[in-house]
Amino acid sequence: MAQILITGGAGNVGSALAKKLSEKQSYQITIVDNLLTGSIVKVPKRDNVHFIDASVNIYKDISPVFYANKFDYVFHFAAVVGVKRTLDNPLWVLDDIKGFENILGLCKNTGVKKVFFSSSSEVYGEPVEFPQNEITTPLNSRLPYAIVKNVGEAFLKSYYERYGLDYTIFRFFNTYGPNQSEDFVIPKFIQLAQNNEPITIYGDGSQTRTFCYINDNIDTLVKILEDNLLSAQVVNVGNDVEVSVLELAKLVIKICNSDSEIIHLPALKEGDMTRRCPDISKMKSILGRELLDVETGMKKYLNSL
């Protein structure tokens, strides 16, 4: 039986991964989360899933978890997330660096075979080319969240070179689904539209994003794990169809048959990049099927509510 640790497993992607893996009794899954941004209701209630309320940034919290279990694989997803939250609480974000040190040191000392890390599209900063590929990382973002994700990637590469600790880095682009918190764009827009309340967007709404349905994300991650793919590599995980924020708001209003109006607020001073679009050639070759388009995905999301 493979022992798997998922830090941040009470969040959107972590809990969905735990749910998918727990379908197989050959996996024993331990979830560690301090519930700062996660929720206990998202944790799968299955015999092969064990939840521990702890912080990976506190060594005395996380070290007993490693020494009491012999983990084969670690998915390190614990992090402070959300543009506004990370801008409002930069010290929370910087504290996550302690988590890298704790997790990787404990992985090295307890014989973990491989670490999977949730990085972010934010490491690309304001992109210098489109689509954003895994090779080009301009490091031009001043946001603490982006800087810390870059630091995490550097930790993994250094531990691999020095100790041979294998890794795969997931650079997640916007992923949505039934368990996503309501302070992210798609759940927020849908909730407002369902209540016929105004939908607010920053600036003229021309900034583009791509949106990946949770199943496409998780199926990719599980295949990488089970087929032992992408040793010491980085992979973009997302969708490659750009949608402007204004187009997204209009689509939500249409799907929800809503009377919501769109209100434009002043553009954010920082953190709202003009374009986001990943090169997902690696992901597509691994997944081996078409990705869900955002309209179909949102309808699927609505049906799950």
**Residues with catalytic function:** 145
Two tokens, residue 149 = 């994700």
Angle at 36 (CA atoms; ends 194, 67), nearest 5 degrees:
135
- Which of 50, 35, 36, 59 lies closest to 5, judged by CA? 50
Q: Measure the CA dihedral 123/222/279/171, to 10°.
A: 0
Alpha helices in 111-171 (DSSP H): 144-163
Helix, strand counts (H, E) of the chain: 10, 13
Find how far residue 11's CA is from the centre of its chain.
9
CA torsion sign for 178, 171, 243, 89 is: positive
Contact yes or no for 204/41 (Cβ under 8 A): no
Two tokens, residue 230 = 């992408």
Element (H, E) at 179: none
Backbone angles phi, psi at 140, to 5 degrees: -105, 5
112 secondary structure, DSSP code: -
